[in-house]
Amino acid sequence: MQPQQRCQRCGTCCKNGGPILHREDLPLVQKGIFSLQNLVTIRKGEPAFNPFTGKVEPAAQEMIKIAGKGASWECIFYDAAQSACIIHANRPLECRLLQCWDTGGIEAIYGRDCLSRFDLVTGQDPLTAHIRKHQQQCSYAKALPLMEHLSSPTPAKVSMEELTGLMQQDLQLREQAISAFRLSLQQELFYFGRPLFQSLQHPGLRVKMAGSSIRLEWTNPV
């Protein structure tokens, strides 16, 4: 049997998630092939799945990713009925390099020359100041050490309180921007990434929402 050497159009790569964008992809945004509303930000330090290690790891740098469909990871530009990419002629770098039978090309660029929000948002954009404020006050550099404290047999009360405050502040800054600029959910996910209460997971941590208020509860994980 001959080894596979061409795409079988099975759609597996597209169903597993949209690509990360690199600097070479910047003209695609500038030409309007896709808009900011089609993109999701993975902030530096955010726990994210690394397809080459098979593990969830803190992102080494900020990355911009094409969004999925609803609650799924399936790329928004994948047409399942036709098993085809609807922007195939203008597909991003990772899509052009990806070969399921030989991942060498995409592995060589993984994590290199990635686009960030500030490559796509100009200094004149009024949301720039909100992004910088949010990043400074609600960074994963602050959140991850608090999560590490949860690994102790009895997490310190102060760590839980600080983590609750950080998650609450994250939501408040988002709500301010959403109200001021009438952002959609997809726009929010580009400008601010996923909320901390969604991206930070621990088997012993329970998040309780009451309106826009957060309460964290600790249960001893089995």
Instruction: Identify whether 3 is part of a domain.
Output: no
Tell me how far apart the alpha carbons of residues 32 and 138 are, in angstroms, rounded to a whole number: 31
Terminal Cα-to-Cα distance of the chain (whole angstroms): 48
Number of domains in the chain: 2
Helical (H) or strand (E) element with 31: none
Q: Which of 118, 137, 165 is the last residue of a domain?
A: 118
pLDDT of residue 134: 97
pLDDT at 160: 84
Long-range (24+ apart) CB contacts under 8 A made by 51-55 are 51/16, 52/103, 52/107, 52/110
Question: Which of 93, 118, 143 corresponds to the end of one domain?
Answer: 118
Which tokens sit at 136? 């400074």
Q: What is the mean pLDDT of residues 173-201?
A: 95
**109 and 127, same domain (yes or no):** no
**Do residues 128 and 110 both lie within one domain?**
no
Identify the domain containing residue 38 by its residue range: 12-118
Instruction: Grade residue 1 by pLDDT with cuts at 50, 70 and 90.
Output: very low
> Which residues have CB under 8 Å from 48's CB, separation 6+?
42, 56, 57, 58, 59, 63
Last residue of a domain, one of 72, 98, 118: 118
